[in-house]
Amino acid sequence: GGRLKIKDLLRSNSVGSEVTAKGWVRTKRGNKNVAFIALNDGSTINNIQVVVEVSNFNEELLKQITTGACLKVVGTLVESVGSGQSVEMLAKEIEIYGTADANTYPLQKKGHSLEFLREIAHLRPRTNTFGAVLRIRHAMAYAIHKYFNDRGFFYLHTPIITGSDAEGAGAMFQVTTLDLNNPPRTEDGKIDYTQDFFGKSTNLTVSGQLEGELGAMALSEIYTFGPTFRAENSNTPRHLAEFWMIEPEMAFYEIVDNMNLAEDFLKNLIQYALDNCMEDLEFLNKMYDEELIERLKFVVSNDFVRLPYTEAIDILMASGHKFEFPVSWGLDLQSEHERYLVEKHFMKPVILTDYPKEIKAFYMKQNPDGKTVRAMDVLFPKIGEIIGGSQREENYEKLMDRITELEIPEKDMWWYLDTRRFGTAPHSGFGLGFERLLLFVTGMGNIRDVIPFPRTPNTAEF
Ligand code: 4AD
Ligand code: MG
């Protein structure tokens, strides 16, 4: 028969027929009469067991079948006696596509530490852990597109190379065609970016939001889903220099509508994982986090807490808890504060709103109190901030005042300001860090372990 993926072989009911499997050897064991090969092709966490009657095969060939080798096996599908699966294969023909020298192949039968696997990121997708994580990552990406498509949102592709600094964070990767060893200079000695490719200085995007707002002001409801780059603060278990962000932006949404969408969206994605990724979740639950599945079920079935920043500060100050970083009104929350609220105080996800305007971006809608803005951060157990969002300032004068106050060059922002000059409307949006979501759904502890090829300081071999 033609090749079937191992996932399909394992649930096939064609016992007795001839089938073909292709995959990589996880383990080989046995005795001088019979060998058992566990074969995996990444379609599922489960292996198919290949039973080999040693006397039917060339001894040299069997010797070359070691952990990591890639095989084609033709054989009969038979009911399994003891492999833990319902069916196994009785081998008739084996072809070796590629051997993997046991003395140099870095992945062996024994479990490896996550730290070690990070050093061999090129091979770690072949492990059970990374197979599970990458399948869940795919499922979540699909669920995100499905969620928005089902609700009439349009997928908007925003630029990767941009001249704008959406978050005002200042931690951008510059993109240039100039020879920085010998750049053209202006009369006052500065680098002359008018001679650069775009005629100005550009960088990799830190967020697609501002362009997303342009889309929402025409298509009503859009979302972006793409890579995002930040050159700062990347040496923590929750930060990457290159991460993926999902940014829905909606015309006619007030902050409450935005919160409702964020909560429904997160619950829907987690439920999708529970419905479609159970085998992988069970593996991760067993290996890394015994409360994982319980936690996922809890989050989908309980309302998130909604709380103004000011009240959160009161709770933190009254807690008597010794925090590493100070807490007082006006200071930004650190992840230890966020996690205290979620894990110790409320024991539920929390949406914090109405932050002081000084610690939030220029585009957020100002509250009548003159001190706070209509921001919303969604805080999750084990993660801290998973979503950041807000209602946007739609009033041209108020937005202009803030831009002037923060000394943001107006000439860079004319296109954005035009949305407030022509047919402005109330609108809101948020950004979900894809890898933060995956940390939560997989129960992994380090963000480097939920992206295939992590980019953090000093780690970009390929
Ligand atoms: O809170 P942030 O900076 O918000 C924005 O970028 C807004 N423009 C979003 C919007 O309103 N459209 O980032 C949003 C989310 C964070 O909550 C976090 O989940 C994730 O992006 N994030 C990171 N994830 C991994 N590594 C980093 N360095 C991250 N920085 C932010
Ligand atoms: Mg944020």
Q: What is the pLDDT of residues 268-316, one digit of tens each?
A: 999 999 999 999 999 999 999 999 999 999 999 999 999 999 999 999 9
Does the Cβ of 255 fall within 6 Å of ligand 1?
A: no
| Rounded Cα gap, residues 318 and 312, in angstroms | 10
**Alpha helices, H only, 348-446:** 396-405, 414-421, 434-442
**Confidence at residue 1, expressed as pLDDT on a 0 to 100 scale:** 63
Same structural domain, 266 and 381: yes
The confidence band for 233, taking pLDDT boundaries of 50, 70 and 90, is low
Q: What is the pLDDT of residues 157-200, one digit of tens each?
A: 999 999 877 677 668 999 999 999 999 999 999 999 999 999 99
For residue 325, the CA-to-ligand 1 centroid distance in Å is 21
Same structural domain, 68 and 129: no
Same structural domain, 343 and 397: yes
Residue 431 domain boundaries: 124-171+206-449
Which atom number of ligand 1 is nearest to the Cα of residue 234? 28
Query: Domain ends where: 47, 82, 98?
Result: 98
Other C-beta atoms lying within 10 Å of the C-beta of residue 73: 23
ipTM reported for the complex, 2 dp: 0.99
Residue 265 pLDDT > 90, yes or no? yes
Same structural domain, 313 and 368: yes
Q: Which residue CA neighbors atom 21 of ligand 1 most closely?
A: 433
Which atom number of ligand 1 is nearest to the Cα of residue 230? 28
Burial class of residue 280 in the structure, from the number of CB atoms within 10 Å of its CB (0-12 exposed, 13-18 middle, 19+ buried):
buried
Q: Which residue CA neighbors atom 24 of ligand 1 most closely?
A: 433
Same structural domain, 253 and 374: yes
Question: What DSSP character marks residue 374?
Answer: E
For residue 124, the CA-to-ligand 1 centroid distance in Å is 27
Residue 49's alpha-carbon distances to 161, 191, 280, 283, in angstroms, are 49, 63, 19, 19
Q: Is residue 156 one of the residues assigned to a domain?
A: yes
Q: What is the pLDDT of residues 82-115, one digit of tens each?
A: 767 889 999 999 999 999 999 999 998 778 999 9
Q: Is residue 188 one of the residues assigned to a domain?
A: no
Q: Is residue 177 one of the residues assigned to a domain?
A: no
Q: Is residue 392 one of the residues assigned to a domain?
A: yes
| Rounded Cα gap, residues 125 and 234, in angstroms | 23
Q: Is residue 394 one of the residues assigned to a domain?
A: yes
The confidence band for 26, taking pLDDT boundaries of 50, 70 and 90, is very high
Distance between the two ends of the chain, CA-based, in angstroms?
39
Does the Cβ of 131 fall within 6 Å of ligand 1?
A: no
Q: Which residue CA neighbors atom 15 of ligand 1 most closely?
A: 433
Same structural domain, 25 and 130: no
Q: Is residue 384 one of the residues assigned to a domain?
A: yes
Does the Cβ of 68 fall within 6 Å of ligand 1?
A: no
Q: What is the pLDDT of residues 141-154, one digit of tens each?
A: 999 999 999 999 99
Cβ pair 176, 321 in contact under 8 A: no
Question: What DSSP character marks residue 244?
Answer: E
The confidence band for 235, taking pLDDT boundaries of 50, 70 and 90, is confident
| Rounded Cα gap, residues 78 and 86, in angstroms | 9
Number of domains in the chain: 2
Cβ pair 416, 427 in contact under 8 A: no
DSSP E strand boundaries for 99-231: 154-155, 161-162, 174-175, 202-204, 221-229
Token pair belonging to 448: 């480097």
- Per the prediction, the chain carries an average pLDDT of 95
